[in-house]
């Protein structure tokens, strides 16, 4: 697999852990701002941590990468939707947009669209 894609997998996974573990207070505020329930926040967080774990495992087992990358990309598209819905500034939208692009890159490499 492409070394840049492996690096992207590590960046996405590390970013998710930092945000969902060490900056969880921001997550609570954002989900309240979006009008989403605690259950939704828990489900999204569990999904993101699980997918991040699979992306890390995919460094050694590349067959695990495609579906987690695409599912993570979907979650980042969803994040973009909610940022637009509450009219957050570009600065708040950038992290999920960057992670979306990285996930699409990872998926494209996994599908051999990008070599």
Tell whether the model's pLDDT for residue 86 goes beyond 70.
yes
Tell whether the model's pLDDT for residue 69 goes beyond 70.
yes
Binned at pLDDT 50, 70 and 90, residue 115 comes out as confident
Contact between residue 13 and residue 106 where contact means Cβ atoms under 8 Å apart: no
Tell whether the model's pLDDT for residue 1 goes beyond 80.
no
Please state the rounded mean pLDDT for residues 105-112: 97
Please state the rounded mean pLDDT for residues 54-62: 97
For the stretch 26-52, pLDDT in tens is: 999 999 999 999 999 999 999 999 999
Please state the rounded mean pLDDT for residues 1-21: 95
**Which of 20, 97, 82 minimizes the C-alpha distance to 51?**
20
Q: Count how many Cα atoms sit within 13 Å of the Cα of residue 107 in the half-sphere of its side chain.
A: 15
Q: Which pLDDT does position 27 carry in this prediction?
A: 96
């Amino acid at each position: 697999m492409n070394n840049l894609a492996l690096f992207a997998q590590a960046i996405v996974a590390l970013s998710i852990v930092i945000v969902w573990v060490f900056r969880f207070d921001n997550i609570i505020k954002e989900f309240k701002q979006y009008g989403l329930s605690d259950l939704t926040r828990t489900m999204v967080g569990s999904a993101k941590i699980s997918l991040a774990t699979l992306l890390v495992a995919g460094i050694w087992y590349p067959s695990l990468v495609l579906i987690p990358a695409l599912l993570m990309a979907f979650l980042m598209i969803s994040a973009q939707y909610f940022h637009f819905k509450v009219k957050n500034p570009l600065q708040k939208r950038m992290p999920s947009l960057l992670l979306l692009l990285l996930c699409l890159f990872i998926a494209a490499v996994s599908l051999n669209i990008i070599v």
